[in-house]
Amino acid sequence: MSYTPPRPYDEVYAENIVQIEEYLNNHSINVTKNNNGDVINVVFDSIKDASTVSIMDQTEFPIKVLNFKSKDVTYKIYYLQLDDKPDNIEAFENEEYGNRPSGADAVIATYKGFTLDGKVFDSNELGARFDLTNVVAGWQLIMPKFRSGTSSFASDGTLQFSNYGSGVMFVPSGLGYYNSASAGIPAYAPLIFTFNLNQVFYLDQDNDGIPSRYEFGYNEDGTIIDTDGDGIPNYMDADDDNDGYLTIEEIKINGVVPPFNDILNCEGTTGGLKKHLNPACH
Protein backbone atom coordinates (compact mmCIF):
# COMPACT_ATOMS: atom_id res chain seq x y z
CA MET A 1 0.00 0.00 0.00
CA SER A 2 1.46 3.37 -1.02
CA TYR A 3 1.57 6.30 1.34
CA THR A 4 1.04 9.89 0.24
CA PRO A 5 2.60 12.34 2.72
CA PRO A 6 0.62 15.47 3.67
CA ARG A 7 1.19 18.54 1.54
CA PRO A 8 3.19 21.44 3.02
CA TYR A 9 1.09 23.61 5.35
CA ASP A 10 2.15 26.90 3.76
CA GLU A 11 1.28 25.66 0.28
CA VAL A 12 -2.19 24.51 1.34
CA TYR A 13 -2.88 27.69 3.30
CA ALA A 14 -1.99 29.86 0.30
CA GLU A 15 -4.73 28.06 -1.63
CA ASN A 16 -7.22 28.03 1.25
CA ILE A 17 -7.09 31.74 1.98
CA VAL A 18 -7.77 32.54 -1.68
CA GLN A 19 -10.74 30.14 -1.63
CA ILE A 20 -12.12 31.64 1.58
CA GLU A 21 -11.75 35.25 0.42
CA GLU A 22 -13.39 34.42 -2.91
CA TYR A 23 -16.29 32.94 -0.95
CA LEU A 24 -16.57 36.02 1.24
CA ASN A 25 -16.57 38.29 -1.81
CA ASN A 26 -19.04 36.23 -3.83
CA HIS A 27 -21.63 35.29 -1.23
CA SER A 28 -24.14 37.20 0.87
CA ILE A 29 -25.39 36.42 4.35
CA ASN A 30 -28.91 36.60 5.73
CA VAL A 31 -29.39 36.30 9.49
CA THR A 32 -32.78 35.63 11.08
CA LYS A 33 -33.34 36.54 14.73
CA ASN A 34 -36.32 35.88 16.98
CA ASN A 35 -38.23 38.49 18.97
CA ASN A 36 -35.61 38.31 21.72
CA GLY A 37 -32.84 39.18 19.27
CA ASP A 38 -31.34 35.66 19.30
CA VAL A 39 -30.05 34.17 16.06
CA ILE A 40 -32.20 31.27 14.84
CA ASN A 41 -30.99 30.86 11.24
CA VAL A 42 -28.13 31.86 8.96
CA VAL A 43 -28.28 31.52 5.17
CA PHE A 44 -25.51 32.08 2.61
CA ASP A 45 -26.33 32.79 -1.04
CA SER A 46 -24.25 33.24 -4.17
CA ILE A 47 -24.31 36.84 -5.38
CA LYS A 48 -26.17 37.10 -8.67
CA ASP A 49 -26.54 40.86 -9.11
CA ALA A 50 -24.50 43.98 -8.46
CA SER A 51 -26.93 45.31 -5.85
CA THR A 52 -26.30 42.46 -3.38
CA VAL A 53 -23.65 43.17 -0.77
CA SER A 54 -21.06 40.48 -0.06
CA ILE A 55 -20.20 39.00 3.31
CA MET A 56 -16.88 40.82 3.09
CA ASP A 57 -18.46 44.21 2.40
CA GLN A 58 -21.64 44.12 4.49
CA THR A 59 -21.58 46.29 7.61
CA GLU A 60 -24.32 44.82 9.80
CA PHE A 61 -21.88 42.21 11.09
CA PRO A 62 -18.43 43.65 10.29
CA ILE A 63 -15.97 40.95 9.40
CA LYS A 64 -13.30 40.25 12.00
CA VAL A 65 -9.92 38.58 11.70
CA LEU A 66 -7.88 36.46 14.08
CA ASN A 67 -4.26 35.83 13.10
CA PHE A 68 -2.69 32.69 14.54
CA LYS A 69 0.71 31.17 13.88
CA SER A 70 0.95 27.39 13.71
CA LYS A 71 3.53 25.15 12.07
CA ASP A 72 5.39 28.22 10.76
CA VAL A 73 2.29 29.50 8.97
CA THR A 74 0.43 32.62 10.08
CA TYR A 75 -3.21 31.77 9.53
CA LYS A 76 -5.95 34.30 9.04
CA ILE A 77 -9.32 33.21 10.43
CA TYR A 78 -12.22 35.37 9.30
CA TYR A 79 -15.24 35.36 11.60
CA LEU A 80 -18.48 37.24 12.19
CA GLN A 81 -20.09 38.14 15.49
CA LEU A 82 -23.85 37.95 15.00
CA ASP A 83 -24.91 38.77 18.57
CA ASP A 84 -25.00 42.20 20.19
CA LYS A 85 -22.68 41.45 23.10
CA PRO A 86 -19.65 43.71 23.64
CA ASP A 87 -16.38 42.19 22.52
CA ASN A 88 -14.04 44.22 24.71
CA ILE A 89 -14.70 42.60 28.11
CA GLU A 90 -11.58 40.70 29.16
CA ALA A 91 -13.01 38.98 32.25
CA PHE A 92 -14.07 35.39 31.68
CA GLU A 93 -17.20 35.69 33.79
CA ASN A 94 -19.76 38.45 33.31
CA GLU A 95 -23.19 38.40 34.91
CA GLU A 96 -24.81 40.64 32.29
CA TYR A 97 -23.33 39.31 29.06
CA GLY A 98 -22.45 35.71 29.87
CA ASN A 99 -19.30 33.67 30.36
CA ARG A 100 -16.41 33.40 27.92
CA PRO A 101 -14.59 30.07 27.62
CA SER A 102 -10.89 29.50 27.26
CA GLY A 103 -9.59 26.99 24.75
CA ALA A 104 -9.40 24.42 27.57
CA ASP A 105 -13.01 24.65 28.75
CA ALA A 106 -16.21 22.91 27.68
CA VAL A 107 -19.22 24.42 25.95
CA ILE A 108 -22.72 23.52 24.89
CA ALA A 109 -23.31 24.80 21.36
CA THR A 110 -25.66 24.38 18.46
CA TYR A 111 -23.90 24.50 15.11
CA LYS A 112 -23.85 23.70 11.43
CA GLY A 113 -20.73 22.89 9.43
CA PHE A 114 -20.44 23.56 5.67
CA THR A 115 -17.88 23.10 2.96
CA LEU A 116 -17.43 26.07 0.61
CA ASP A 117 -19.69 24.44 -1.98
CA GLY A 118 -22.57 24.66 0.50
CA LYS A 119 -22.73 21.02 1.55
CA VAL A 120 -23.59 20.48 5.22
CA PHE A 121 -21.29 17.85 6.71
CA ASP A 122 -22.42 18.10 10.34
CA SER A 123 -25.03 19.88 12.44
CA ASN A 124 -26.69 19.85 15.83
CA GLU A 125 -29.76 21.97 16.48
CA LEU A 126 -30.42 20.72 20.02
CA GLY A 127 -27.02 21.53 21.51
CA ALA A 128 -24.00 19.32 22.08
CA ARG A 129 -21.32 19.53 24.74
CA PHE A 130 -17.70 19.84 23.57
CA ASP A 131 -14.40 19.94 25.40
CA LEU A 132 -12.62 22.57 23.30
CA THR A 133 -9.35 20.66 23.57
CA ASN A 134 -10.96 17.83 21.58
CA VAL A 135 -12.25 19.79 18.56
CA VAL A 136 -10.55 21.42 15.58
CA ALA A 137 -8.20 24.30 16.34
CA GLY A 138 -10.53 26.81 14.69
CA TRP A 139 -13.13 26.18 17.39
CA GLN A 140 -10.53 26.34 20.13
CA LEU A 141 -9.44 29.76 18.85
CA ILE A 142 -12.75 31.38 17.92
CA MET A 143 -15.14 30.16 20.63
CA PRO A 144 -13.25 32.17 23.30
CA LYS A 145 -14.23 35.32 21.38
CA PHE A 146 -17.88 34.73 22.32
CA ARG A 147 -20.02 34.62 25.46
CA SER A 148 -22.69 32.21 26.62
CA GLY A 149 -26.40 32.70 27.13
CA THR A 150 -28.89 31.94 29.88
CA SER A 151 -30.97 28.82 30.33
CA SER A 152 -34.44 27.96 31.58
CA PHE A 153 -36.79 24.99 31.47
CA ALA A 154 -39.78 25.13 29.17
CA SER A 155 -43.19 23.84 30.19
CA ASP A 156 -42.42 20.50 28.54
CA GLY A 157 -39.28 20.08 30.64
CA THR A 158 -36.78 20.79 27.88
CA LEU A 159 -33.87 23.12 28.52
CA GLN A 160 -34.01 26.30 26.48
CA PHE A 161 -31.30 28.94 25.92
CA SER A 162 -31.55 32.63 25.18
CA ASN A 163 -29.26 35.64 24.89
CA TYR A 164 -26.55 33.32 23.59
CA GLY A 165 -23.49 34.29 21.64
CA SER A 166 -23.70 33.65 17.89
CA GLY A 167 -21.16 33.66 15.14
CA VAL A 168 -19.70 32.32 11.93
CA MET A 169 -16.12 31.16 11.45
CA PHE A 170 -14.30 30.48 8.19
CA VAL A 171 -11.59 27.96 9.00
CA PRO A 172 -8.55 27.16 6.80
CA SER A 173 -7.94 23.42 6.62
CA GLY A 174 -4.70 23.72 8.60
CA LEU A 175 -6.86 24.67 11.59
CA GLY A 176 -9.53 22.16 10.62
CA TYR A 177 -9.20 18.57 9.43
CA TYR A 178 -6.34 19.24 6.96
CA ASN A 179 -5.59 16.06 4.98
CA SER A 180 -8.04 13.86 6.94
CA ALA A 181 -10.72 13.39 4.31
CA SER A 182 -14.11 11.95 5.26
CA ALA A 183 -17.36 11.23 3.48
CA GLY A 184 -18.46 14.84 3.84
CA ILE A 185 -15.17 16.72 3.99
CA PRO A 186 -12.54 16.54 1.22
CA ALA A 187 -8.87 16.66 2.18
CA TYR A 188 -7.50 20.21 2.58
CA ALA A 189 -11.00 21.72 2.53
CA PRO A 190 -11.67 25.07 4.24
CA LEU A 191 -14.76 24.92 6.44
CA ILE A 192 -17.57 27.23 7.55
CA PHE A 193 -19.25 26.87 10.92
CA THR A 194 -22.30 28.80 12.11
CA PHE A 195 -22.83 28.42 15.84
CA ASN A 196 -24.65 29.53 18.96
CA LEU A 197 -22.71 29.39 22.22
CA ASN A 198 -25.27 28.39 24.82
CA GLN A 199 -23.33 27.49 27.94
CA VAL A 200 -19.78 27.41 29.30
CA PHE A 201 -18.34 24.89 31.77
CA TYR A 202 -15.10 25.99 33.40
CA LEU A 203 -12.76 23.04 33.83
CA ASP A 204 -9.70 22.14 35.86
CA GLN A 205 -8.28 19.61 33.42
CA ASP A 206 -5.39 18.50 35.67
CA ASN A 207 -7.21 18.86 39.01
CA ASP A 208 -4.43 21.05 40.38
CA GLY A 209 -6.75 23.61 41.99
CA ILE A 210 -6.20 26.19 39.24
CA PRO A 211 -9.02 26.54 36.69
CA SER A 212 -7.74 25.69 33.23
CA ARG A 213 -8.72 29.11 31.89
CA TYR A 214 -5.83 30.60 33.89
CA GLU A 215 -3.32 28.00 32.70
CA PHE A 216 -4.20 27.73 29.03
CA GLY A 217 -2.65 29.91 26.34
CA TYR A 218 -0.36 29.96 23.32
CA ASN A 219 3.27 30.81 22.72
CA GLU A 220 4.22 33.00 19.76
CA ASP A 221 4.85 29.92 17.63
CA GLY A 222 1.36 28.58 18.28
CA THR A 223 2.38 25.90 20.76
CA ILE A 224 0.46 25.66 24.02
CA ILE A 225 2.14 27.12 27.11
CA ASP A 226 4.29 24.58 28.97
CA THR A 227 6.24 26.47 31.64
CA ASP A 228 8.62 23.68 32.60
CA GLY A 229 9.14 22.35 29.08
CA ASP A 230 8.33 18.77 30.03
CA GLY A 231 6.00 18.26 27.09
CA ILE A 232 2.85 18.55 29.22
CA PRO A 233 0.93 21.83 28.77
CA ASN A 234 0.31 23.73 32.00
CA TYR A 235 -3.44 23.08 31.90
CA MET A 236 -2.72 19.33 31.93
CA ASP A 237 0.32 19.35 34.24
CA ALA A 238 -0.16 18.62 37.96
CA ASP A 239 3.40 19.89 38.64
CA ASP A 240 3.74 23.03 36.54
CA ASP A 241 7.38 23.79 37.33
CA ASN A 242 8.56 20.16 37.51
CA ASP A 243 10.11 20.64 40.96
CA GLY A 244 8.65 17.47 42.43
CA TYR A 245 5.96 19.32 44.38
CA LEU A 246 2.35 19.14 43.20
CA THR A 247 0.91 22.48 42.14
CA ILE A 248 -2.15 22.00 44.33
CA GLU A 249 0.06 21.68 47.41
CA GLU A 250 2.31 24.60 46.48
CA ILE A 251 -0.54 27.07 46.06
CA LYS A 252 -2.40 26.28 49.29
CA ILE A 253 -2.55 28.96 51.98
CA ASN A 254 -3.09 27.49 55.44
CA GLY A 255 -4.17 24.28 53.78
CA VAL A 256 -6.76 25.93 51.55
CA VAL A 257 -6.60 26.45 47.77
CA PRO A 258 -7.03 30.21 47.19
CA PRO A 259 -8.65 32.00 44.23
CA PHE A 260 -6.23 32.29 41.31
CA ASN A 261 -5.45 35.98 41.88
CA ASP A 262 -4.54 35.27 45.51
CA ILE A 263 -1.88 32.65 44.77
CA LEU A 264 1.38 33.83 46.30
CA ASN A 265 4.83 34.34 44.81
CA CYS A 266 8.09 33.27 46.47
CA GLU A 267 8.12 36.43 48.57
CA GLY A 268 4.75 35.56 50.07
CA THR A 269 2.92 38.35 48.26
CA THR A 270 0.71 38.44 45.18
CA GLY A 271 1.90 39.63 41.80
CA GLY A 272 4.80 38.53 39.63
CA LEU A 273 5.70 34.88 39.10
CA LYS A 274 3.49 32.65 41.19
CA LYS A 275 5.27 30.09 43.37
CA HIS A 276 3.94 27.04 41.56
CA LEU A 277 5.69 28.25 38.39
CA ASN A 278 9.06 28.83 40.09
CA PRO A 279 11.10 25.63 40.64
CA ALA A 280 13.27 27.42 43.20
CA CYS A 281 10.29 28.07 45.44
CA HIS A 282 8.08 25.52 47.23
For 56-95, what is each residue's pLDDT tens digit?
Answer: 999 999 999 999 999 999 999 999 999 999 999 999 999 9
Cβ neighbourhood burial of 91 (10 Å; 0-12, 13-18, 19+): exposed
Q: What is the CA radius of gyration of the chain?
A: 21
- Residues present in the chain in total: 282
Is residue 187 in a domain? Answer: yes
Residues 260, 189 within the same domain: no
Strand partners, 10: none
Q: Domains in the chain: how many in total? A: 2
What's 169's domain CATH number?
3.10.50.40
Q: Does 3 reside within a domain?
A: no
Whether pTM > 0.85 for this model: the answer is yes
pLDDT tens per residue across span 86-105: 999 999 999 999 999 999 99
Query: Based on the domain organization, do 123 and 25 belong to the same domain?
Result: yes
Residues 55 and 159 in one domain: yes
Structural domain boundaries enclosing 17: 9-201
Residues 43 and 102 in one domain: yes
Closest CA to 107 of 175, 196, 176, 194: 196
